[in-house]
Structure 1
Amino acid sequence: MMSASDGWLIAVAGYAILLAWPLSTVILVWFAVRYVGTHRATVVNKALASGGGKPEQFWIIVPALNEEAVVANTVAAALRLRGPAGTLTRVLVVDDGSDDRTPEVLATIDHPRLHVMRRELPEARQGKGEALNAAYRLIASLTASEGVPAERVALGIIDGDGQGSDNILAEVGRLMGDTKVGAVQVQVRIRNRDKLLGAVQDLEFGAIVDACQNMRDALDTVGLGGNGQFSRLSTLISLGSAPWSSCLVEDMELGLRMHLQGVSIRYTSRASVTQQAVVDIKRLARQRTRWAQGNLQCARYLGSLFTSGNIARTALVEILHYLVSPWANAVVTVMLTLTGTAGVLGLLTGHPMPLLPTWVSLGESLGVWAVVTTFPGLVWVLVHRAKRADEAMPRMLLAALAYPLFLLLGLTATYRALGRQLTGKQAWAKTERLVEEPLALQTA
């Protein structure tokens, strides 16, 4: 039988955990409003005054495995990108052993700044990280043969369904004007947000992730994403012949390795890369499970993070929070469920919890829970509207109401990821792409 003190402890803990969410939302909203998507202005303006680190060459790497539905548009969009005056921009598509029409589609694109690397089995299909490593080694070799300093070359990753904004290279070049900056992450947005799942994912990337990255930018702990990451070639060279790993979130691991070496990573929302949303529930759950499993794999860096002398204490706390929070959220969900279950059982057995003495009080608590879980999504819609103003309010309000269920899917994915990791499962099916209207190819 539960004692009165146990009941008070469970109830207070439950309410404290529940109310921590809207409080953390308010803090993140402050960063979303306070920072415009680049590092602290006083630091940036001084460091960029000379622009001594600006890249002279940009390489856009497009990893492609069975991307026949989207690769033509992705390449066309990448070839449109222009860096600052006097810079050279080239596109390298890594066909990682595609067995659909991806090779045929690429063969129809004739452009002087397009390079295609075809990888065959058994080297191919060893993960996105290995495909990126192959592209990096080729670019490093070409750069050396051309006599271009590695610190003046930037490598950008745009996924098979990605399309960069027109100013993306200019903005990356501006931030890399600071010679201490080894990598830049641009904002990610969703293109097909006309459906509810797409709108929810754009709310996530366009407002929530943006705010998190702005906070991390202020703390110098920016994380790299799989899409829209740009790295200085010299920084990648310092990490060896294989900067990217076989981790399921090779982008996160690359960012951690850079931080351990004291490399500065910047974030900007002044430029962006768009991608397709996953609009099928099962595929979305599979994607988020893969991300969660990759997060779990990166936990092996916890020891190195604690002992590294290149990471400030405040930055270390944020990085640890980033690694641990998915699993903390999973534990919190269990605690809240136990609190609710204990309240119901207490009423049914005649031994109610102190803070839930009646069914009415239980109903009121459920009402508080509904308000608290709905509040963050509504706030983020206001942030999205204020900063983006490119989506209809009714659709985004509907996305806000669906956001708690979206988070519940993420928590389910976390538990699935733990099960997969414990059983040694690593294989993943590719995310399906949607066919879009073709983009015109520029010949120059």
Structure 2
Amino acid sequence: MQALFWVSLAVIVAVDVWVCVLFVCAVRGRRRQPAAPAEGADAFTWVFLVPALDEELTIRDSVTRLLALPLERRHVVVVDDASGDRTPAILAELGQPDLHVVRRVLPHAREGKAAALNAGFQELGAILGDVDRDSVIVAVVDADGRLDPQAPAHVAAHFAEASVGGVQSLVRIYNRQRLLTWCQDVEFSVYGHLFQAGRNGWGTAGMGGNGQFNRLSALDDLASGAGPWRDRLTEDQDLGLRLIVRGWKGRQDLRATVDQQGPSSARALLRQRTRWSQGNLQAMALIDELAGARLAPAVRLEQVAYLLMPLWQGIIGASFLTALALMALGVAPFWDGGPSWQLLVFWVLAFGGTILGCVAARAAEGPRGWLVGFLVGHVYVLYTWFLWPVLLRSTARQLARRRDWSKTRREPLGPEPAA
């Protein structure tokens, strides 16, 4: 048990140092935003891929917003994955020249999001014609997505650099009126402002599905067989990592936002996060390729260490449960009345990294934002432990080779929240 605690302490300290490095890199990066091309978003042709399976509650809202984006050259490609509700009828009502509906039929449908995206990708040649594929940006927007109208303009600034293959928007939760969905909004903000923005300078920010922008020529570089997306539970993460391996840069833009629904029940949230967690376990198969990628040694180490995060989480979780058991049995108390500075050390180890992430998410608001982030971190850390059982469930499913999943059910649209 002492060996477990020492290993866990080493992991916690290493993670806290890593978070501090990302925090500094993220704060510095916000001061050096890339310059947009002279034509702005109109320097590129934009394609929005929207996979849709039984999305009658949200599809009209999402597609209407995409069709209203202030862009000179834009195509909205909705892949109707054999929907059995009113999704096809709603899309027919929205008929516009810029809207293209790719209809899939059973039995060659409902094979996962990657298959649906690849079906849309296969149609791009006919839709776009003879174009410079370096100047075409393909965005993935989920059927509940609300892309900010200025997102393409912000993203265009990154794609002005020819080596950038992918840019990820900042995800927000628009039904964040409840505590559970509010915590999800904090979660995405921490991930975007810390773990993603902290990697911008290295060009290793990951892709996150909804609000993901990719250069078409970069997708061509990965395409094999059906298309660039592979059959993975987190096909977005897989694609982003393979872009990095092939030498493309990945960026996070914090000004470009995409809002989506968050599961409002604990059961739905745990089911969704189990799928994501199992996808992370699948992504560990890319460790060898990342270790050999043409990146600085420290950046390669950071990427590999991040992919091993389920292992680090498992060690910390095991030590925490062991400590609780020892305390309950009276073998080892939480604190033996020693010097008070020990409690400060415990607090830093338990909350430090999470608080830094919450502060990073609010840093742009100035001193008030830092204070709010500091306070929010103490609540958010409880949410992170609420999700810890997800790791056990996803590991069990991976070992049992279970890959079935059900998509997150949508809820009727409500009013838009305040910023």
Which TM-score applies when normalising by structure 1? 0.83
Pairwise CA distance, 1:306:
2.5
Q: 1:291 aligns with which of 267, 276, 280?
A: 276
Corresponding residue number in structure 1 for 2:106: 121
Q: 1:261 to 1:82 in 2, by over 3 A?
A: same
How many residues end up aligned between the 2 structures?
A: 413
Corresponding residue number in structure 1 for 2:27: 33
Pairwise CA distance, 1:61:
0.9
> Is residue 75 from structure 1 mapped to residue 58 from structure 2 by the alignment?
no
Q: Is the 8 A contact 2:5 2:319 kept in 1?
A: no
Q: Matched residue of 1:214: which SS?
A: helix
Q: 1:60 aligns with which of 38, 48, 67?
A: 48
Q: 1:102 to 1:393 in 2, by over 3 A?
A: farther
Q: Is the 8 A contact 2:79 2:116 kept in 1?
A: yes
Q: Is the 8 A contact 1:53 1:152 kept in 2?
A: no
Q: 1:256 to 1:384 in 2, by over 3 A?
A: closer
Answer with 233-242 or 89-98: which moved more.
Answer: 233-242
Q: Matched residue of 2:155: which SS?
A: helix
Pairwise CA distance, 1:407:
1.4
Q: Matched residue of 1:238: which SS?
A: helix
Q: Matched residue of 1:185: which SS?
A: strand
Pairwise CA distance, 1:320:
0.9
Q: 1:220 aligns with which of 203, 210, 215?
A: 203
1:217-257 CA distance string (max 9 Å, x none): 11221111111111111111122241001100000111121
Corresponding residue number in structure 1 for 2:230: 245
Gaps of 5+ in 1: 1-5, 440-444
Listed as ranges, the matches of 1:122-141 within 5 Å are 122-141=107-126
Q: Is the 8 A contact 2:50 2:78 kept in 1?
A: yes
Q: 2:287 aligns with which of 302, 312, 318?
A: 302
Q: Is the 8 A contact 1:63 1:93 kept in 2?
A: yes
Corresponding residue number in structure 2 for 1:387: 364
Q: Matched residue of 1:246: which SS?
A: coil
1:298-317 CA distance string (max 9 Å, x none): 12112222334x33322211
Paired AA for residue 130 in structure 1: A
Q: Is the 8 A contact 1:77 1:163 kept in 2?
A: yes
1:158-215 CA distance string (max 9 Å, x none): 1111111111111222221112222211211121222111221111112343211111
Q: 1:150 to 1:73 in 2, by over 3 A?
A: same
Pairwise CA distance, 1:365:
6.9
1:382-411 CA distance string (max 9 Å, x none): 44344369x999998885443223212332
Q: 1:358 to 1:90 in 2, by over 3 A?
A: closer
Q: 1:311 to 1:52 in 2, by over 3 A?
A: farther
Pairwise CA distance, 1:323:
0.9
Paired AA for residue 150 in structure 2: N
> Is residue 317 from structure 1 mapped to residue 301 from structure 2 by the alignment?
yes
Q: Matched residue of 2:78: which SS?
A: strand
Corresponding residue number in structure 2 for 1:433: 410
Q: Give the alignment's Cα RMSD to 1 decimal.
A: 3.3
Pairwise CA distance, 1:52:
12
Pairwise CA distance, 1:290:
0.6
Gaps of 5+ in 2: none
Distance 1:136 1:357 in 2: 56
Distance 1:357 1:123 in 2: 57
Distance 1:256 1:12 in 2: 32
Q: 2:90 aligns with which of 105, 108, 114?
A: 105
Max radius of gyration: which structure?
Answer: 1
